[in-house]
Amino acid sequence: MKTTLYYFTGTGNSLWAARELARHIPDTKLVPMARLIHDGGEITAPEGRIGFIFPVYIGGPPLLVAEFAEKIDLTAADGIFSLVTMAGAGDGAWKRLNNILKKRSHPMNAAYSVKTPTNYMLLGDVLPEDQEIDVIATARSDIERIAGKINRGESVFEKGPFLMNVFNGALYPFLKGQLRAQGARFRADEKCNNCGTCELVCPAYNITVAGVNPPDWGNACESCFACINYCPRSAIQSGKKTASRGRYHHPNVSIKDLMVQNGRE
Ligand SMILES: Cc1cc2nc3c(=O)[nH]c(=O)nc-3n(C[C@H](O)[C@H](O)[C@H](O)COP(=O)(O)O)c2cc1C
Ligand code: SF4
Ligand code: SF4
């Protein structure tokens, strides 16, 4: 059976996770959700198994992923699963996405989360590099195990730690609006040399870098944290804490990979 993996990523974990799944699931194609949303028009899933691979944001799915699930025609789908990348708790993201799919009469038949390094340095610092390597190594074997279940067609809804997920999931309805507002909180400091990377990695086309002026953030932010984490000079800040904190993106996901996702390549 053919498998189509629709992915969304800010800092590469979810694209990498989709690639890892594809290594273990035969006849698999990766398709970027951001690109299809920006292309506009109808979105129709092909025949076969469909997977959604994306990060959790404050206990729910990214706004773009929710929009994609509202839009895609899943009539030809033969089994739908999701794989959420998360730093601590991801169940809320696939549950909320599944609520959208259930309303559209195409419920998932399996859902998984996999722990990957955090990219959200507003809450706390990113991990030290050796820990990032360990987390990615564990994620790699988790994804191989998950791919086995998908290949066997198992109907599994893997649940993470209960309390963490309850706490995490409860925040989403209240903080969801803040995801869009994040763009207005970013600013470039004096280290910025107008290289334009932040504009290229933004899946929401929410940043303009022109001439000698500092980059300008608009109101369409997805809160993916690609700009702040891929800026080669660590020149992007949000609030007072990020200047002293590290940056993270998946080591095997390049700026060019994000440009492909975003329809800029
Ligand atoms: C705005 C934002 C909110 C986040 N919220 C959560 C969360 O509620 N729970 C969690 O475990 N991780 C959370 N994270 C961490 C990411 O889900 C995690 O690092 C993910 O793997 C990033 O995927 P990506 O590299 O594909 O963008 C959050 C990250 C961001 C940027
Ligand atoms: S990526 Fe960083 S250095 Fe480059 S334009 Fe954006 S803020 Fe400036
Ligand atoms: S402005 Fe930054 S955080 Fe917001 S969508 Fe663009 S790259 Fe992601």
What average pLDDT score do residues 61-80 get?
A: 97
β-strand partners of 238: 186
Nearest Cα to Cα of residue 101 among 128, 66, 136 = 66
- Among 221, 242, 247, say which to mutate for ligand 3: greatest number of ligand atoms within 8 Å of CB: 221
Is 221 touching ligand 3 by the criterion CB < 6 Å?
yes
Q: In angstroms, rounded to a whole number, what is the distance separating the alpha carbons of residues 105 and 165? A: 25
CATH of the domain at 55: 3.40.50.360
Q: Same domain for 212 and 92?
A: no
How many separate domains does the chain show? 2
Residue ending a domain, choose from 107, 139, 174: 174
pLDDT confidence band for 41 (50 / 70 / 90): very high
Q: Same domain for 105 and 72?
A: yes
CATH of the domain at 193: 3.30.70.20
Strand extents, DSSP E, 213-258 = 216-217, 236-238
Q: Same domain for 13 and 143?
A: yes
Q: Same domain for 51 and 126?
A: yes
In DSSP notation, 157-184 reads B----HHHHHHHHHHHHHHHHHHHHGGG
The pTM is what?
0.97
Is 12 touching ligand 1 by the criterion CB < 6 Å?
yes
Domain interval for residue 218 = 179-261
- Residue 13 parent element (H or E): helix 13-24
| Cα 111 to averaged position of ligand 2 atoms, centre (Å) | 37
Q: Same domain for 207 and 165?
A: no
pLDDT at res. 212: 67
Q: Same domain for 158 and 186?
A: no
| Cα 244 to averaged position of ligand 2 atoms, centre (Å) | 17
Q: Same domain for 190 and 87?
A: no
Strand extents, DSSP E, 75-155 = 77-86, 110-115
The percentage of the chain sitting over the pLDDT mark of 90, rounded to a whole number, equals: 89
pLDDT digits (tens, 9 = 90+) for 173-215: 888 889 999 999 999 999 999 999 999 999 999 999 987 678 9
Q: Same domain for 195 and 154?
A: no
pLDDT at res. 265: 86
| Cα 11 to averaged position of ligand 2 atoms, centre (Å) | 16
221 contacts 60 by C-beta, under 8 angstroms: no
